A and B are shown apart, each in its own frame.
Chain A
């Protein structure tokens, strides 16, 4: 690169470099969004080996809860986020108790079929209730616009997104490391039989973890509207991203999901910016290559 000389014009060099940093920043923010969407699935898959392809349907539910509250009831955007979380968690637990739990020991195929079926139903219901168009949402005044930072324009909303993801990560890691519930989850992920033998109610642990994971998906869905919009196909469009992150990161690993989310987020944004003709080719290739190299994912143990 025959770039500008740093000593004679500092300001110019940052504007030359800013596309790279801009792409990196957008990629990380996008990766953080994907992390919030996918971490729940990673934990539940690692815990119960349950292939839940309806995960993004819960995210979509969270998104529509937020849209309804903001557009119909004039709630402030930030206040709707906890509601999106709770709504997705409650619906997921209801389904877990009625349908999912009967298939914990069933084959992968049955689990795939049940959850794809639920995702189809969710898409049709969303199309029926909200129509098939992209839904806009007004975020709070504070999150609009951008902050100048050494010549870079950092979108406030993307900064907020990174902040939320970091808080979620810290809470999850701390919760898993230092609480009694976290210890039970880790024990069940590591060795389910042994955990049962020690008197841990793995089914109940799973139900709570499932609610937590789906709640996070609901939060992710609400946060995603501003970045990628929301339409009834959300349940399938982002399912692919989420599955890629989960399988690349390794089942049951928060750190793995975090790393994979950043990797996929940055390569997706960079791919769209620098090589738009490749489309989604790049991330699919990354996934297949990583899985063939390490079938259990980057951090996976199994």
Chain B
């Protein structure tokens, strides 16, 4: 955001934003590297892609519309359990499973969005926390359906498009997760660089003033929340299908908190923020978990305090700040 953005028309601004930067193309090419360089870590890469998708969904409501949610894992879990149950009861086709799970999470998200759009600030944080905990308790108590704390067992997923079987090494899993992430990212990029995306940013900056220039804040928040819930459900469904198992952890507060940490670490309100944050977080957790699993959260805590105090816009925000200063010289 520099001074020249104020002098150009909104249409020109949006067009400038939606042009592909060489760095972006390099980023997506780099996501193919694990196939060649780290074939032993493909299941981790697949987890990263799924988590990045989940972080992207949170970014739409938190980074762009400014809605703080402490219960976003509820939608991730709904998607995961829907995909899991469909395959458990005999329909193992992955792609139609994704569509159904996305629709289920989107429908619940649409219903919840009527509550969400009415509240702000502390009350909103508490309501999202409460709804997230309710979803967790519901999944925990419905042992007959979800398997409770034992996890949902007995899924069987058919090969993708009838050709690609999910193998032990994670080739298919990573290709599948990455493809879903990429196509959703294209959609999200289109959405954010549209007038609707601009209106969301307006709501984040001033919730009261937006209706005065003709953008109904509540209707916009409902739409954005529904979309974010559907994407979160999609991420959950991909996780369920690639791991052939759904644990209670997928709907827990821990997951809501983790995704928030990743997004903020990478940089909220930037399309790549969640992706970068998820990659750093997951790789770091994978590296450190062997050393001291229970002290992992000490470093997460230190990281959070540091990011809030020193890097208010996350890693990408810091980098783009340095880049802007370097270009001015």
Chain A: residues with CB nearer than 8 A to chain B? 45, 49, 51, 99, 102-103, 106-110, 112-114, 116-125, 127-128, 132, 240, 243-244, 247, 251, 277-281, 284-285, 287-288, 291-292, 295-296
- The secondary structure that dominates the B interface is helix
Assess whether B301 is in contact with A117, with CB atoms less than 8 Å apart.
yes
Assess whether A288 is in contact with B134, with CB atoms less than 8 Å apart.
yes
Assess whether A117 is in contact with B308, with CB atoms less than 8 Å apart.
yes
9 closest A-B pairs by CB: A117-B304, A120-B301, A124-B298, A121-B301, A288-B130, A117-B301, A117-B305, A120-B297, A247-B126
**Residues of B with C-beta under 8 A to A279:** 137, 140-141
**Residues of A with C-beta under 8 A to B305:** 99, 114, 117-118, 121
B141 to chain A: closest residue by CB: A279
**What is the interface size of chain B, counting residues whose CB is below 8 A from a CB of the partner?**
41
User: Bound complex: CA of A103 vs CA of B133, how far in Å?
Assistant: 27
**Residues of A with C-beta under 8 A to B257:** 116
22 pairs of residues in contact across A and B, judged by CB atoms under 8 Å: A51-B122, A108-B68, A108-B122, A109-B268, A110-B308, A113-B260, A113-B261, A113-B307, A114-B309, A117-B303, A120-B298, A120-B300, A240-B133, A247-B126, A251-B122, A279-B137, A279-B140, A280-B137, A281-B138, A284-B133, A288-B134, A295-B119
Chain B 58-81: CB-based contact to A (< 8 A → 1; otherwise 0): 000010001010100000000000
**Residues of B with C-beta under 8 A to A287:** 126, 130
B121 to chain A: closest residue by CB: A108
User: Bound complex: CA of A124 vs CA of B123, how far in Å?
Assistant: 29
User: Bound complex: CA of A128 vs CA of B303, how far in Å?
Assistant: 18
Given A106-B308, A109-B62, 14 further pairs, Cβ under 8 A: A108-B68, A113-B308, A114-B305, A118-B301, A120-B297, A120-B304, A121-B297, A124-B295, A127-B294, A127-B295, A240-B129, A281-B138, A291-B123, A291-B130
User: Bound complex: CA of A84 vs CA of B236, how far in Å?
Assistant: 44
User: Bound complex: CA of A226 vs CA of B122, how far in Å?
Assistant: 32
**Residues of A with C-beta under 8 A to B308:** 103, 106, 110, 113-114, 117
Chain B: residues with CB nearer than 8 A to chain A? 62, 66, 68, 70, 115, 118-119, 121-123, 125-127, 129-131, 133-134, 137-138, 140-141, 257, 260-261, 264, 268, 294-295, 297-298, 300-305, 307-309, 312
Which one, A49, A113, A132, A285, contacts B134 given CB within 8 A? A285
B134 to chain A: closest residue by CB: A284
Nearest CB of A to B138, in Å: 7
**Residues of A with C-beta under 8 A to B66:** 107
**Residues of B with C-beta under 8 A to A110:** 308, 312
**Residues of A with C-beta under 8 A to B126:** 243-244, 247, 287, 291
| Given A287-B130, A295-B119; A113-B304 close (CB under 8 Å) | yes
User: Bound complex: CA of A244 vs CA of B131, how far in Å?
Assistant: 12
**Residues of B with C-beta under 8 A to A285:** 134
**Residues of B with C-beta under 8 A to A117:** 300-305, 308
User: Bound complex: CA of A51 vs CA of B123, how far in Å?
Assistant: 11
User: Bound complex: CA of A243 vs CA of B115, how far in Å?
Assistant: 19
